[in-house]
Structure 1
């Protein structure tokens, strides 16, 4: 049994043990892609009858950590729209790209079709207010990163992280692509714009390895140029309309 088969077997047993009333389940993440390590958790989406409650849980089953995305059938459309609105589509991608563990009545198959339609439609565009706020945030992080001396390594490293994250947020939005957090940020960034995404990641690495902020600053400026340029004087954010 290879690693992927072992993960499928563990996830299937988890669902049967903890959710015998489940309408279906899907294994997602690195385990479904054959990239799991011995310490990787299992990402499992479980469809539940409407008498149950939608929620997110983390449990340990037979020694392995599992993150569970539990949704009643009636809650799926609303939850999928919420997941899409975040522009990350975490659970949408589990249903889109994951491995079906059990689907006795075809509910998982139909839910996967819903997820794939939303993935194909892409994330929502940023509103004008969201875009301007992101431009302003990236400009601030970029300016501070440029001005922070390499002797202040902790500040420099934190600013590099925030600059990369905000630049990725803006660039993926500009490309109409999905974004991500954690390990999914570089994956989504490279998928959205391979050339500029790679340059941003290399710029971030230059700060980490050589205390040189300028490659990342230069790439952040390129991202800003795509969406109207740096946002400094003239920016206003109103607490009430």
Structure 2
């Protein structure tokens, strides 16, 4: 693991060098949690004056990649709502759980409080149509997974990845919890439902290691049972609503 203090200083130099007018900055991700490795990038949220433009940039600073989430103060409420609508809350969590780098005028503290309020409200619930579409999709691809011969590893692994993602999205939504992608999918999943989340992840791992879909299928059935069961015949979806 890389030293957290060193990474914090490096992130602060990045902000002061590239954004001398910044109104605040926060270091998030692995660096803020003490999990960073030599290959980890820096996730940095920067508050800009309203004369600037909100955007996202990836740069290399002092040999390390950095992903920059750049927002003007005026854009923050709209951006937080967009981040909430995705049900992942990526930048919201940076402002809630990150390490402050600079806050010369108190703007960062105010934005962090806004982020905490949005996170406390939770992600938006799925609509009835989204629940049905999710149940149908998960049922359909689970059936395909069980029906795929273990000798066809390309298709089996592709199906298993989709099944895990969809089951995770539905299970976190059932609990009113935030979801995630990449390495954050298992973290959010285990946080939302330790038992069922672990069953899904263990089932996915078993399939990857042994080509056996049964544990994953059983875990998925447990998730579907929470939501009204598998959905096959009777599903309908209008092209226009």
Bucket of the pairwise TM-score, normalised by the shorter protein: over 0.9
Q: Note the 1:126-145 alignment, pairs <5 A.
A: 126-145=126-145
Superposition RMSD in Å: 0.7
Residues in 1 aligned to 2:79 and 2:209: alpha-carbon distance in whole angstroms = 41
Q: Alignment partner of 1:101: what SS? A: strand
Structure 2 equivalent of residue 106 of structure 1: 106
1:150-175 Cα shifts (integer Å, max 9, x gaps):
00011101111111000000000001
Query: Which structure 2 residue ranges, 5 or more long, are not aligned?
Result: none
Question: Once the 2 structures are TM-superposed, how far is the Cα of residue 115 of structure 1 from its aligned partner?
Answer: 0.3
Q: Does 1:93 find its partner at 2:90?
A: no
Residues in 1 aligned to 2:77 and 2:159: alpha-carbon distance in whole angstroms = 38
Report how many residues are paired: 240
Question: Once the 2 structures are TM-superposed, how far is the Cα of residue 26 of structure 1 from its aligned partner?
Answer: 0.2
Residues in 1 aligned to 2:41 and 2:97: alpha-carbon distance in whole angstroms = 17
Structure 1 equivalent of residue 235 of structure 2: 235
Question: Once the 2 structures are TM-superposed, how far is the Cα of residue 231 of structure 1 from its aligned partner?
Answer: 1.1
Structure 1 equivalent of residue 55 of structure 2: 55
Residues in 1 aligned to 2:201 and 2:48: alpha-carbon distance in whole angstroms = 40
Query: Which structure 1 residue ranges, 5 or more long, are not aligned?
Result: none
Give the TM-score normalised by the residue count of structure 1: 0.98
1:74-108 Cα shifts (integer Å, max 9, x gaps):
00000001100110000000000000000000000
Question: Once the 2 structures are TM-superposed, how far is the Cα of residue 140 of structure 1 from its aligned partner?
Answer: 1.1
Structure 1 equivalent of residue 171 of structure 2: 171
Q: Alignment partner of 2:130: what SS? A: helix
Q: Alignment partner of 1:199: what SS? A: helix
Question: Once the 2 structures are TM-superposed, how far is the Cα of residue 120 of structure 1 from its aligned partner?
Answer: 1.1
Residues in 2 aligned to 1:109 and 1:135: alpha-carbon distance in whole angstroms = 41
Structure 2 equivalent of residue 69 of structure 1: 69
Question: Once the 2 structures are TM-superposed, how far is the Cα of residue 128 of structure 1 from its aligned partner?
Answer: 0.7
Residues in 1 aligned to 2:214 and 2:76: alpha-carbon distance in whole angstroms = 45
Structure 1 equivalent of residue 116 of structure 2: 116
Question: Once the 2 structures are TM-superposed, how far is the Cα of residue 19 of structure 1 from its aligned partner?
Answer: 0.3
1:5-57 Cα shifts (integer Å, max 9, x gaps):
01101100000010001001000000001110011000000000000000011
Structure 2 equivalent of residue 38 of structure 1: 38
Residues in 1 aligned to 2:214 and 2:136: alpha-carbon distance in whole angstroms = 19
Residues in 1 aligned to 2:34 and 2:102: alpha-carbon distance in whole angstroms = 19
- Structure 1 segments of 4 or more deviating over 6 A? none
